[in-house]
């Protein structure tokens, strides 16, 4: 506004012309705003996509050379990881990530699912109002805090158990409680909120008619939940589980503090190294091929996550088909 007034003052044109200038300049400015905003929106829109493409390219470019140099068979199926000696076999880490995640799922899914059922179906409203925010808070707690608590609370328990179980076994390598079992417990707690929140939503989305029909046939509340509601919500629950798997397999900070981080084959009371912790723990001091090999691990982890996402998409798609029919 000030600009135009000043303009008329300096150029001293007729009033009608001034109005015209004012009008056109406003139109131009309006058009400009439109275009600028469209560009801004476009940039925001493609940033995410561009990041994915860049990350994918970067991981392949920096991970592939090491894998090629080590040999894909040696890299994926070698059972010794000893960077100083130039041995870069990540089979123990792959198996550890898989068993660790499986263990977390075995402990976490039943607990999470039952909590979701409790929240969605049987909890009194006042209790629900207390539990629900607590679980949401659980989802927001930084992973390193889970690790710290694991190191202080979980590790000593497994140290005690280890000394009891392996008392007379001289071949056992004592881990002081930093082992796969501790990592599984910490991971299972970490994936709880994901599973609970998504399962609860899925259970709540089951149409009320299903329940009414079930009650009408004489089923009890519990029978209805386990025979009707959960089967009807299974694709939602499955996607919660898959997301939980995603979180567990990608977690590093928390389990680094409780897993022991030696690249051994997975066993409950073995000190183990996950794919993620392998990268985090060694990156800062690595150099040369060792560092490249860590990018190789990153690439393997990346492929894992992509596979999990594909599985998730398949589940979601089949779920949608199921409700459409």
Is there a contact between 278 and 100 (Cβ–Cβ < 8 Å)?
A: no
- What minimum distance in Å lies between the beta carbon of 178 and other proteins? 5
Binding residue (CB under 8 A) for other proteins from 112, 155, 228, 319? 155
- What minimum distance in Å lies between the beta carbon of 174 and other proteins? 4
Binding residue (CB under 8 A) for other proteins from 18, 281, 311, 316? 281
- Does 172 bind other proteins (CB under 8 A)? Our answer is yes
- Does 287 bind other proteins (CB under 8 A)? Our answer is yes
- Does 84 bind other proteins (CB under 8 A)? Our answer is yes
Binding residue (CB under 8 A) for other proteins from 42, 77, 82, 226? 82
Structural Rg of the chain based on CA atoms: 28
Q: Which residues contact 289 (CB under 8 A, 6 or more apart)?
A: 66, 69, 70, 86, 88
- Does 280 bind other proteins (CB under 8 A)? Our answer is yes
- Does 79 bind other proteins (CB under 8 A)? Our answer is no
Q: Which residues contact 253 (CB under 8 A, 6 or more apart)?
A: 142, 143, 144, 147, 280
- What minimum distance in Å lies between the beta carbon of 43 and other proteins? 22
Rounded to the nearest 5 degrees, what angle is found at the Cα of 47, between the Cα atoms of 42 and 52?
140
The rounded distance, in Å, linking the Cα atoms of 215 and 154 is 43
The rounded distance, in Å, linking the Cα atoms of 282 and 270 is 19
From residue 154, alpha-carbon distances to 97, 120, 187, 195, 207 in Å are 19, 30, 12, 22, 41
- What minimum distance in Å lies between the beta carbon of 113 and other proteins? 34
Q: Directed axis angle between helix 180-204 and helix 91-117, to 10°?
A: 40
In terms of CB distance, is 1 or 44 closer to other proteins? 1
By CB under 8 A, which span of 9-17, 32-40, 78-86, 199-207 interacts with other proteins?
78-86
Name which of residues 231 to 260 contact other proteins (CB under 8 A).
Answer: 256-257, 260
Q: Which residues of the chain form contacts with other proteins (CB under 8 A)? A: 2-3, 6, 81-85, 151-152, 155-156, 159, 163, 166, 170, 172-178, 256-257, 260-262, 271, 273, 280-288, 290-291
């Amino acid at each position: 506004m000030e600009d135009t007034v000043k303009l008329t003052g300096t150029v001293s044109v007729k009033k009608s012309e001034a109005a015209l200038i004012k009008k056109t300049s406003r139109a131009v400015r309006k058009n400009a705003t439109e275009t600028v905003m469209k560009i801004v929106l476009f940039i925001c829109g493609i940033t995410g996509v561009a990041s994915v493409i860049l990350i994918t390219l970067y991981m392949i470019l920096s991970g592939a050379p090491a894998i090629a140099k080590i040999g894909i068979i040696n890299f994926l199926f070698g059972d010794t990881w000893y960077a100083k000696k130039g041995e870069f076999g990540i089979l123990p880490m792959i198996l550890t990530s898989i068993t660790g995640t499986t263990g977390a799922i075995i402990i976490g899914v039943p607990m999470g699912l039952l909590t979701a059922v409790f929240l969605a179906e049987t909890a009194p409203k006042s209790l629900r109002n207390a539990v629900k925010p607590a679980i949401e808070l659980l989802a927001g707690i930084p992973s390193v805090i889970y690790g710290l608590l694991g190191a202080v609370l979980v590790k000593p328990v497994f140290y005690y158990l280890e000394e009891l179980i392996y008392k007379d076994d001289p071949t056992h390598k004592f881990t002081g409680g930093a082992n796969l079992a501790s990592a599984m417990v910490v991971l299972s707690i970490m994936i709880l909120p994901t599973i609970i929140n998504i399962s609860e939503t899925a259970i709540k989305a089951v149409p009320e008619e299903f329940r009414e029909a079930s009650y009408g046939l004489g089923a009890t509340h519990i029978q209805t939940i386990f025979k009707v509601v959960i089967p009807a919500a299974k694709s939602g629950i499955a996607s919660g589980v898959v997301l939980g798997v995603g979180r567990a397999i990608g977690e590093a900070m928390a389990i680094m503090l409780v897993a022991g981080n030696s690249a051994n084959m997975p066993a409950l009371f073995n000190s183990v190294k996950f794919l993620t912790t392998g990268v985090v723990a060694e990156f800062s001091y690595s150099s040369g091929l060792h560092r490249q090999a860590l990018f190789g691990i990153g690439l393997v982890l990346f492929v894992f996550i992509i596979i999990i996402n594909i599985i998730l998409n398949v589940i979601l798609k089949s779920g949608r088909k199921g409700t459409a029919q």
